[in-house]
């Protein structure tokens, strides 16, 4: 029987109570963003807090245990992270219609156009899987994909359609929130954040809501390959700005990782991180 423990949660400082216990230790240090070939040599160092999983003592942590482009320490629960098979299971309109079994699941969430389909394609290496969720009529549903016959990847509707008419905007509050609040088998939400744009209020609001409701979260920064932004900042600078805002509001900084569906950056590392969350949940 799976241990249904919310084992990592954001703990907002204000105005929410900080009673949430975390099974993870956090280690504060100044850690430079990875020196990517495409980043300027002056990539700024950012203040971050390592995500130390169960089975690892904070004082044992060294650089070789931290996944590149992330704050995530890999511990003994990390295991085989390969994806050997994936199949579409069903689309559900409500949490109570979702598959009813004990398999752990990860929900993928983000603003429309954040790169969700591209990331799912990159993770499962199967184009038709993410296309399934993009089919007319399915974009507003909870789409379950079974991976290795043992865990689910769940594609949730994107939020914040900037250019959509008011009527077409998703009612995120009544629909997706029901899923988060009622889904016992949810291991973590992968909250996708576009690193090619400055921090967006809607993403911060979403992170706040998840934190307030003790939903475990991992920030997955997308489009980290995008260096030529006509105006504005580089992905590493946008990520630093995002982290700074999150740090002001939260006592515990969630795990975060940089990805690119174009270069494959972060793909294997994210899967490894998911394996340790899953194996711990599953024990």
Query: In the set 70, 117, 143, 275, which binds ligand GDP (CB under 6 A)?
Result: 117
Q: Residue 201 has which token pair?
A: 């209020």
Stretch that binds ligand GDP, among 19-27, 116-124, 203-211, 274-282 (CB under 6 A): 116-124
> Could you tell me the smallest distance in angstroms from the CB atom of residue 158 to ligand GDP?
5
121: three-class secondary structure by DSSP: helix
24 contacts 35 by C-beta, under 8 angstroms: no
> Could you tell me the smallest distance in angstroms from the CB atom of residue 191 to ligand GDP?
12
> Could you tell me the smallest distance in angstroms from the CB atom of residue 3 to ligand GDP?
32
Q: What is the 3-state secondary structure (H, E, C) of 216-279?
A: CEEEEEECCCCCCCCCCCCHHHHHHHHHHHHHHHECCCCCEEECCCCCCCCHHHHHHHHHHHHH
**Nearer of residues 52 and 119 to ligand GDP, judged by Cβ:** 119
Q: How many CB atoms lie within 10 A of CB 76?
A: 12
Query: In the set 12, 115, 216, 255, which binds ligand GDP (CB under 6 A)?
Result: 115
φ, ψ of residue 275 in degrees (nearest 5): -65, -40
Kind and range of the H or E element at 51?
strand 45-52
- 189: alpha, beta or left? (left if phi > 0; alpha if psi -120 to 50): beta
> Could you tell me the smallest distance in angstroms from the CB atom of residue 38 to ligand GDP?
11
x/- letters, 66..95, toward ligand GDP (CB under 6 A): ------------------------------
Residues 121-180 that bind ligand GDP (CB under 6 A): 158
Is 113 a residue that touches ligand GDP (CB under 6 A)? yes
Stretch that binds ligand GDP, among 34-42, 83-91, 160-168, 260-268 (CB under 6 A): 260-268
Stretch that binds ligand GDP, among 4-12, 24-32, 41-49, 220-228 (CB under 6 A): 220-228
Residue 160's nearest CA partner among 107, 200, 119, 212 is 200
Stretch that binds ligand GDP, among 45-53, 163-171, 203-211, 255-263 (CB under 6 A): 255-263
φ, ψ of residue 242 in degrees (nearest 5): -60, -45
* Contacts (Cβ under 8 Å, ≥6 apart) of 49: 26, 27, 28, 29, 71, 247, 252, 253
**Nearer of residues 91 and 185 to ligand GDP, judged by Cβ:** 91
Query: In the set 222, 238, 275, 276, which binds ligand GDP (CB under 6 A)?
Result: 222
- Angle (CA) 259-265-267 rounded to 5° is 75
Query: In the set 6, 126, 144, 223, which binds ligand GDP (CB under 6 A)?
Result: 223
**Nearer of residues 195 and 252 to ligand GDP, judged by Cβ:** 195
Length of the chain equals 283
Enumerate binding residues for ligand GDP (CB under 6 A).
Answer: 110, 112-118, 158, 222-223, 225-226, 260-262
């Amino acid at each position: 029987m799976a241990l249904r423990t919310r084992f990592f949660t954001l703990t907002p400082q204000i105005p929410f109570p900080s009673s949430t216990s975390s099974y993870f230790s956090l280690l504060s240090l100044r850690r430079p963003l990875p020196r990517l070939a495409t980043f300027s040599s002056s990539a700024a160092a950012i203040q971050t807090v390592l995500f130390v999983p169960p089975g690892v003592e904070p004082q044992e942590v060294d650089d070789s245990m931290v996944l590149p482009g992330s704050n995530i320490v890999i511990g003994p629960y990390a295991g085989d992270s390969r994806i050997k098979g994936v199949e579409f299971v069903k689309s559900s309109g409500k949490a109570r219609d979702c598959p009813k079994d004990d398999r752990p699941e990860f929900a993928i969430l983000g603003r429309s156009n954040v790169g969700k389909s591209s990331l799912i394609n990159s993770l499962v290496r199967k184009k038709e899987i993410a296309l399934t969720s993009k089919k007319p009529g399915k974009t507003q549903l909870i789409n379950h994909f079974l991976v290795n016959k043992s865990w689910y990847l769940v594609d949730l509707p994107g939020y914040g359609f900037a250019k959509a008419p008011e009527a077409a905007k998703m009612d995120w509050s009544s629909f997706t929130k029901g899923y988060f609040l009622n889904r016992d088998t949810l291991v973590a939400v992968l909250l996708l954040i576009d690193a090619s744009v400055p921090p967006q209020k809607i993403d911060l609001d979403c992170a706040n809501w998840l934190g307030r409701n003790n939903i475990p979260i991992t920030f997955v920064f997308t489009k980290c390959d995008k260096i030529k932004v006509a105006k504005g900042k580089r992905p590493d600078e946008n990520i630093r700005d995002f982290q700074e805002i999150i740090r002001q509001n939260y006592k515990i900084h969630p795990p975060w990782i940089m990805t690119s569906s174009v270069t494959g950056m972060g793909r294997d590392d994210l899967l490894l991180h998911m394996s340790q969350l899953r194996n711990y949940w599953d024990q």
